[in-house]
Structure 1
Amino acid sequence: MHHPGPPRFVAVGESVELAPRQPEPDMAAEWRLVERPAASTAALGDGPVCHLEPDAPGVYRAELTAPDGTHEQGIRAFPAVTETVRFSVTADDFEVDDTDDLAVADRAIVIGKFNDFTMGTHWAERDGDEWVIETDLPPGTHHAIFSFDGSFEATATDEVTVEGPGRPRVELISETVDGDLVVSADARAAPSGSEPAVEFYLDDRDALEESAVTIDCDELRVPREALPETARIHAVAVAERHSVADTLVVEKGGETTNRPATVSRPADPPTWASDATIYEIFVRSFAGETVDTTFEAIERRVPYIESLGVDVVWLTPIQASPTRHGYHITDFFDTAEDLGTRAEFESLVDRLHEAGIRVVFDLVINHSSRDHPAFQLHRAGVPEYADYYERIPASQDISDVDWAGEDAPGHYFNWTRIPNLNYDSLAVRRWMLDVVDEWRDVVDGFRCDVAWGVPHGFWKEVRERVKADDPEFLLLDETVPRDAAFAENEFDIHYDTDLFDTLRDIGTGETPASALFDALDTSVERGYPDRTGHMRYVDNHDEDRYIDECGAAPLRAAVGATFTLPGTPMIYAGQERGVEQQRGTMRWHDGDNALTDFHRRLVALRADHAPLRSPAVHPVPHTVETGAADSVVAYERTDGDETLVVLLHFGDGTAEVSLDTAVGDTDLLSGDPVGSDGTVAVDNIAVVSATTDS
């Protein structure tokens, strides 16, 4: 079925892509705009994939003519909430020894989330001693990176904060009342935002007639006899800004009048994900210093992975690639020769499954290597590949590559060796869906590289595609910085860059330990739904190691935070062995065994105590008797049956902390006594039971 999918929700000025699903490269497909607000002059271009940029609030309706018929897709555009901000830097802000060359530059390249980190689209102009750029941005904290040549050898960063409310949130709840389906919307205001209203939307794919639906404020009601076999109901909370939409899927499930419909929430993460611990393996550094890493070599080391107690292994790319890291893929359908055959990879997966460990595959579909045959054919003018890659005007290209033409490939940052695929091409969309199909039955989930570079509509199609056969399949996004829009029927778990950055700032002493509460609150401010999963981590293959930046003592406290706060903790292989290099070789013979045991005990503690996997966190009043007060934080975790108090100390030595709360006298993590008279001795982390005085 080529229907383009669910209704879409955007702010005025945001572009939304419209594309048929299950495309064939040469199929005939055409769009036209059949409804728009009276104040709008928006239009759609030609082609099977179009982009609508709403220019006025209201409802837009687009009609798709495809081989299987005519379909409609609704787009609701909400007012944009933005403010003009000014980013600026001086020569002194650049990390270079000699600023004389900078002094003559009239302008600088600027990238940030606001332009998807694309060079050549935004420039800062010289204004006296500063380079300045202004742009309109929504509420929140924003960063801009300045560069003169795009090489990242000399950069400067500026940060601005736009005051204003975050995004509201909404959750749909259903019940059967007198045989009717009643859907209630629990709408919650954003911090500093006003109380939201609720808007319900039906799905154009279903046969549920609007005339059969009754809506009263935050409640929708449908008589059972009016329900089609499947109905999808969407809702958005609307205040100063709009929420991520929530969705319920209603299956009528038979003709018995008294039988209630079956209702599911397609955006919910798999049931196992919130209890899991992820272990990321940077594949080619895992086997050791003198042994080449292969699938067989990793398989022989599964007993070690199993001993950690982790539930999921995320492998960095294992497909054909000329690079050590594997993200420059030259064949999406086969494994890298140096790692082994497809059969050997599947043997590794089977061995991990035998150990009770799921496998997450690094899905790289934003780009290919420029050594991929498709890109070579594209650049060489082969007609069938003309639209496979993004193209930008030569005037926008700031690379030092001679692309031998008047256009250049689109790419992010300075990644000239990995050109962006063109999702306006049906052939590319078909190609990448085939890649998804190739691997989804082999593994248990995808970590989606540069997820922010692939259109939302495509991710929505991928989600429905993989979840239709396996609802427990995991989708983990790399969106840096975070963006709650990817939680709208797209991904299960999201990188928590806010906590990551905050733990770094705490570890270096730039911010107090209590700032981790602010980082957690940011998830709410950004509008992530309560049910959303967040990956909590201190290291990954793209960042300098925490131990290198902050030291060994803060590392233990930071790791302790990831295992005792809500979310899904992730260990980056080598973190637990004391590896100091970002993608350094695993330290097998000279690793830090005490640190490894520390990680094992944290994994086991979280598995054994349900409060550490619960959603709520409450700060605990405390007094730091000895040690730096700013380096200590305490919080309560409870599931209603058991209550634990977690204390973290990011400083050196031991902090003596007194609590008003009565606690047990044993640290559940180490088994050591923690003190008496309400005083707890904390080296880096202590976890104690809250007790009730008799």
Structure 2
Amino acid sequence: MHHPGPPRFTDVGESVELAPRDPDSDGHYRWRLRSAPDDSDVELGDGPVVHLDPDVEGTYTAELDAPDGTHTQTVRAFPVSRRSARFSVSAEEVDGDLDGVESASVIGPFNDFVMGKHRVERDGDEWGLDVELPSGDHDAIFAFEDGFDPYATAEVTVEGAGRPRVRLDGRREAEEVVITATAKPAPAGDDPEVEFHLDDRDALDESDVRLDGDELRVPVDSLPVLSRVHAVAVAERPSIADTLTIHVESESRDVRDDVAFDRPADPPEWVRDATVYQIFVREFAGEKLETTFAEIERRVPYLESLGIDTLWLTPVCASPTRHGYHITDLFDTASDLGTREEFESLVERLHEAGIKVLFDLVINHTARDHPAFQMHRAGVPEYEGHYERIPRGQDTTGVDWAGDDSPGHYFNWAGIPNVDYDSLAVRRWMLDVVDSWAPLVDGFRCDVAWGVPHGFWKEVRERVKAEDSDFLLLDETVPRRVGFHENEFDLHYDTDLYYALRDVGTGDAPASELLDALVDAERLGFPDEAVHMRYVENHDEDRYATECDEGTLRPAVAATFTLPGAPLVYYGQERGVPEQRGPMRWHDGDAGLTTFHRDLVALRDDLPALRAPGVDRVVCDVTDGEDETVVAYERAGEESDAVVVVLNFTDSTATVTVDRSVDTHDLLTDTDVSGHDDGVVVDDVVVLRAN
């Protein structure tokens, strides 16, 4: 079915891409705007993929003529929620020689890190850019003369409330189905109101729906076999939408005995208990051997011994690079790693060990050496629209592209041009890639997820979940963006905790910053059901122990295992590998650090409280040690005993007392940690059962 999908929600001035699903590259598709708010001057383009740019608040209705009929898609545009702000840096803030430097590219989440899009000129000793931003904290990078040597970062805070949140639940009352919306205000925000929206794909008629405050009611006999209801909470800003699916299982429309409800945006239950281990593939066999699928398979017993249950492999597709993100064939494995059959053998062995496999899905770009890009630049007609094109004046590569336009890319990644999702051929290509790998693995880690359109991710989610509801989607959005939770991704990078851990580890922030960082998810508008991946390092970040103070790695790792969310262990983190992408240390690794990680994995598996969603601050008094390097918190589940975790971010022992009654037997080390005057002794972390 080519229907473009669920209703879309946006702000005035924020573009929404509309596209047919499961497209036929040679099919005929035509959009038109059926209705728009008064005073709107919006027009839709002529292509099969169009961009609606709402200019006034209200509801827009677009129609798509497709080979299988005419389809309707609703777009709700909320008022502008952005305010004027200014990024600026001065010469004295830059660590580098700026003599003769007159311009800089300014990049950040506000422009998707596109170099050359926003250039600013030097004004005395300052470079500045005025932008429109929503409330919250924002970062930008000033890349001088379109490069990163030198560069500077700037921060700005826009005052205002964050996003509210909403949750939908359903129940049957006699001959009615009742959908209840529970809305929560943003921190320091106003109480929101709720808007309900039906799905244009369904046969549920608005005339059959009755609104009663924050409830939507529908007669059971009016329900089609499948209905989807969406809701948005609206205050100073709108929430992301929540969705509830209503299934009617019956043999005839006259018999409506079995009504079931499903929350399609929720993550699979297993991810809440998961411990993820990431392998940088080509370094896992060590310093002497070349890594292959067979060599990884021979090391599965080590992964079993760690107790991890989910393995993320960096890209395994054909690539001329060791990191694998410059892909030249999205359908086949790299020859140096092994055949596709050998990859499938590795996955089968991991499954036998009870370990799920995450495939690194790279569909924002290809290598510049990919035949499709070569055909594109060489003027082969059928590849004309495969890649993004930007005005020649925005190009930052210094390459003579021999034309009036240049390939689009992010940062300074000139070797990996962005594909163009305005092309039906590209959408068909990438859906085929998804279909090729999804049946073999248990989930996708999606590289540069923020570069791929929301509408496409929504289609991918429905596509893979239709075959396997437990399939996992992990997004790379840096910094994390709540919009990618709206019927798109299950597990999210927690960049806020990552940066907080770094600041604590370098002494730039107190240990209590960790708990402050957890509040950011609520301010951003992530629902309680969202799961966040907690990590101290990955293949894109320097090693924590290399960058941070002595004695801070172990408490930082312990934080990722004892705070809510899914912990990530980056290969070698547990063996003391000092290089970001260095060879795995097998014969000379840190055995004590490895045991520490094993014990954390086992403890988290054993204690349901550590996998529960909530966390409460615990007041602690440091009687021997430094106040700012110690933090304590309580973890408890509905059906589990509470535990108190104390972290000490120094290489010196601390003695603390907490405002809870606790057993002084440390559950992690199985030792008594009682100290003088009812205190407990903390080297790096203790986990104590609350009385």
TM-score, length-scaled by structure 1: 0.98
Q: Which residue of 2 aligns with 1:302?
A: 300
> Does structure 2 retain, via aligned residues, the 8 Å contact 1:660–1:678?
no
5 Å matches for 1:234-253? Answer: 234-253=230-249
- Partner of residue 316 from structure 1, selected from 314, 317, 325: 314
Q: Which residue of 1 aligns with 2:540?
A: 542
Q: CA deviation at 1:397?
A: 0.7
> Does structure 2 retain, via aligned residues, the 8 Å contact 1:176–1:260?
no
1:620 aligns with 2:611: no
> Does structure 2 retain, via aligned residues, the 8 Å contact 1:139–1:161?
yes
5 Å matches for 1:375-414? Answer: 375-414=373-412
1:197 aligns with 2:193: yes
> Does structure 2 retain, via aligned residues, the 8 Å contact 1:662–1:678?
no
Deviation string for 1:279-327 (max 9, x for gaps)? Answer: 0000001000000000000000000011000010000000000000000
In 2: Cα distance, 1:288 partner to 1:12 partner: 53
Q: Which residue of 1 aligns with 2:117?
A: 121
Q: Which residue of 2 aligns with 1:432?
A: 430
Q: Which residue of 1 aligns with 2:476?
A: 478
In 1: Cα distance, 2:343 partner to 2:663 partner: 48
In 2: Cα distance, 1:257 partner to 1:223 partner: 13
Q: Which residue of 1 aligns with 2:136?
A: 140
Q: Which residue of 1 aligns with 2:57?
A: 57
Q: CA deviation at 1:621?
A: 1.2
- Partner of residue 563 from structure 1, selected from 558, 561, 564: 561
Q: Which residue of 1 aligns with 2:77?
A: 77
Q: Which residue of 2 aligns with 1:175?
A: 171
Q: Which amino acid aligns with 1:528?
A: F
The residue matched to 1:273 in structure 2 has which SS? Answer: helix
Q: CA deviation at 1:121?
A: 0.9
Q: Which residue of 2 aligns with 1:164?
A: 160
Residue-pair matches, total: 687
TM-score, length-scaled by structure 2: 0.98
> Does structure 2 retain, via aligned residues, the 8 Å contact 1:224–1:257?
no
Q: Which residue of 1 aligns with 2:512?
A: 514
Q: Which amino acid aligns with 1:671?
A: D
The residue matched to 2:301 in structure 1 has which SS? Answer: helix
In 2: Cα distance, 1:579 partner to 1:150 partner: 33
Q: CA deviation at 1:552?
A: 4.5
> Does structure 1 retain, via aligned residues, the 8 Å contact 2:550–2:650?
no
Of all paired residues, the percent bearing the same amino acid is 62
1:357 aligns with 2:335: no
Q: Which residue of 1 aligns with 2:652?
A: 653
Closer/same/farther in 2, CA of residues 31 and 258 from structure 1, 3 Å limit = closer
Note the aligned Cα RMSD (angstroms). 1.0
> Does structure 1 retain, via aligned residues, the 8 Å contact 2:609–2:636?
yes
In 1: Cα distance, 2:515 partner to 2:539 partner: 26
> Does structure 2 retain, via aligned residues, the 8 Å contact 1:496–1:535?
yes
Most deviating of 402-411 and 454-463: 402-411
In 2: Cα distance, 1:43 partner to 1:605 partner: 58
Q: Which residue of 2 aligns with 1:682?
A: 682
The residue matched to 1:460 in structure 2 has which SS? Answer: helix
The residue matched to 1:580 in structure 2 has which SS? Answer: coil
In 1: Cα distance, 2:462 partner to 2:325 partner: 25
In 2: Cα distance, 1:411 partner to 1:329 partner: 15
5+ long unaligned stretches in structure 1: none
Deviation string for 1:346-382 (max 9, x for gaps)? Answer: 0100010000000000000000000000000000000
Q: Which residue of 2 aligns with 1:3?
A: 3
1:594 aligns with 2:589: no
In 2: Cα distance, 1:398 partner to 1:643 partner: 55
> Does structure 1 retain, via aligned residues, the 8 Å contact 2:104–2:146?
no
In 1: Cα distance, 2:485 partner to 2:513 partner: 25
Q: Which amino acid aligns with 1:15?
A: S
Q: Which residue of 1 aligns with 2:94?
A: 94
Q: Which residue of 1 aligns with 2:27?
A: 27
- Partner of residue 335 from structure 1, selected from 326, 333, 342: 333
In 1: Cα distance, 2:57 partner to 2:145 partner: 39
Most deviating of 85-94 and 439-448: 85-94
5 Å matches for 1:264-279? Answer: 264-279=262-277
Deviation string for 1:438-468 (max 9, x for gaps)? Answer: 0000000000000000000000000000000
The residue matched to 2:574 in structure 1 has which SS? Answer: helix
1:443 aligns with 2:441: yes
> Does structure 2 retain, via aligned residues, the 8 Å contact 1:368–1:421?
yes
In 1: Cα distance, 2:122 partner to 2:211 partner: 55
In 1: Cα distance, 2:4 partner to 2:660 partner: 55
Q: Which residue of 1 aligns with 2:104?
A: 108
In 2: Cα distance, 1:342 partner to 1:29 partner: 36
Q: CA deviation at 1:400?
A: 1.1
Deviation string for 1:595-615 (max 9, x for gaps)? Answer: 000000000000000000001
In 1: Cα distance, 2:147 partner to 2:575 partner: 33
- Partner of residue 182 from structure 2, selected from 177, 180, 186: 186
Deviation string for 1:575-613 (max 9, x for gaps)? Answer: 000111111111111100000000000000000000000
In 2: Cα distance, 1:559 partner to 1:618 partner: 19
> Does structure 1 retain, via aligned residues, the 8 Å contact 2:221–2:256?
no
Q: Which residue of 2 aligns with 1:284?
A: 282
> Does structure 2 retain, via aligned residues, the 8 Å contact 1:183–1:220?
yes
- Partner of residue 496 from structure 2, selected from 490, 495, 498: 498
Q: CA deviation at 1:199?
A: 0.3
In 2: Cα distance, 1:327 partner to 1:126 partner: 35
Q: CA deviation at 1:257?
A: 4.6
Most deviating of 676-685 and 293-302: 676-685
> Does structure 1 retain, via aligned residues, the 8 Å contact 2:45–2:51?
yes
Q: CA deviation at 1:258?
A: 6.1
Q: CA deviation at 1:527?
A: 0.3
Deviation string for 1:641-665 (max 9, x for gaps)? Answer: 3010000011121010012211112
In 1: Cα distance, 2:118 partner to 2:256 partner: 61
Q: CA deviation at 1:125?
A: 2.6
In 2: Cα distance, 1:678 partner to 1:218 partner: 51
In 2: Cα distance, 1:514 partner to 1:82 partner: 30
> Does structure 2 retain, via aligned residues, the 8 Å contact 1:276–1:569?
yes
Q: Which amino acid aligns with 1:177?
A: E
Q: Which amino acid aligns with 1:253?
A: E
In 2: Cα distance, 1:383 partner to 1:495 partner: 39
Q: Which residue of 2 aligns with 1:416?
A: 414
> Does structure 2 retain, via aligned residues, the 8 Å contact 1:61–1:75?
yes
In 2: Cα distance, 1:660 partner to 1:137 partner: 41
1:666 aligns with 2:660: no
Q: CA deviation at 1:406?
A: 1.2
5+ long unaligned stretches in structure 2: none
Q: Which amino acid aligns with 2:403?
A: G
The residue matched to 1:261 in structure 2 has which SS? Answer: strand
Q: CA deviation at 1:678?
A: 3.1
> Does structure 1 retain, via aligned residues, the 8 Å contact 2:170–2:180?
yes
Q: Which amino acid aligns with 1:89?
A: V
Deviation string for 1:166-190 (max 9, x for gaps)? Answer: 0000000111111211000000000
In 1: Cα distance, 2:577 partner to 2:686 partner: 24
Most deviating of 253-262 and 58-67: 253-262
In 2: Cα distance, 1:278 partner to 1:324 partner: 22
The residue matched to 2:613 in structure 1 has which SS? Answer: coil
> Does structure 2 retain, via aligned residues, the 8 Å contact 1:278–1:312?
yes
In 2: Cα distance, 1:17 partner to 1:537 partner: 32
Q: Which residue of 1 aligns with 2:643?
A: 644
In 1: Cα distance, 2:313 partner to 2:393 partner: 39
In 1: Cα distance, 2:289 partner to 2:124 partner: 56
In 2: Cα distance, 1:524 partner to 1:362 partner: 28
